[in-house]
Amino acid sequence: MTNQLLVTIAVLGGTGKEGKGLAYRWAKAGYRVLIGSRTAEKAQSAAQELTALLGEAAIEGLDNLSAAQKADIVVAAVPYAAHRETLLTVKDALQGKLLVDVTVPLVPPKVSKVQMPPAGSAAQEALGILGEGAQVVDAFQNISYEHLMAEGQPPCDVLVTGSSKAAREEALKLVEAAGLTGWDAGPIENSVVVEGLTSVLIYMNKQYGSTHAGIKITGIHQ
């Protein structure tokens, strides 16, 4: 039994590709994972799919609010169009907890063009919605589902920004547990760059015929 099983992670939007890929990585590492969705039935289907891939794993599907209430750490991996509504639904459940926001403010149909919200980024919006009772970090925007579901360590890095040094350190533990290399990229104001990179990578995927462009930090060592 691993220590990770003492921590429960809720992945809201865990039925989508990015959320499902992260849930897969954390469940594989030994965490108890709750898949959240607007409907419990859809979340249960995703949980069953991941359990079939992993064999023995602690994965459960619930509606978003129930998942957030039962979790120690909450991950928001919802489409930007559902971001505000989802956070308002779980706001009370997130007080005193860490939110890892994976959401990117993509505005269809021009998803390869950076279009940031008035708050600066989705993570800064989240902080404004949740208030001082929650810590918010921004992470995992620049790693593809294909990399998350593949075996081994992906050849790209994860930038982590957040509302406090302690929150970023906690998120970096999750990055490491997922088998990824993470970097403290500073305060939450820097999330505008991290989220904006997603549109750049989408453009480059289309331009060069790829599906999993990523970023790699060079010149410094941990």
Token representation of residue 9: 């992670």
**Position 4 pLDDT exceeds 80:** no
Structure tokens at 147: 């990399």
Is the separation of the CB atoms in 68 and 10 below 8 Å?
Answer: yes
The C-alpha angle with vertex 185 and arms to 181 and 191, in degrees rounded to 5, equals: 115
Statement: residue 3 has pLDDT above 90: no
Closest CA to 195 of 4, 10, 18: 18
Q: What is the mean pLDDT of the chain?
A: 95
- Band (pLDDT 50/70/90 cuts) for residue 1 is very low
Please give the distance of CA 6 from its chain centroid, rounded to a whole number: 20
Strand order in the sheet with 135-138: 59-63, 32-37, 8-12, 73-76, 98-101, 135-138, 157-162, 181-187
CATH number of 3-208: 3.40.50.720
Q: Is the Cβ–Cβ distance between 185 and 129 less than 8 Å?
A: no
| 21-76 residue pLDDT tens | 999 999 999 999 999 999 999 999 999 999 999 987 899 999 999 999 999 999 99
Question: In this predicted structure, what is the pLDDT of residue 17?
Answer: 94
Beta-bridge partners for 63? 37
Percent of the chain with pLDDT over 70: 98
The DSSP 8-state label assigned to residue 77 in this structure reads -
Separation between Cα atoms, residue 55 and residue 163, nearest integer Å:
36
**Where are the domains positioned within the chain?**
3-208
pLDDT of 5 reads 58
Q: What is the pLDDT of residues 166-191, one digit of tens each?
A: 999 999 999 999 999 999 999 999 99
Higher pLDDT, 132 or 43: 43
> What does the pLDDT average to over 115-131?
97
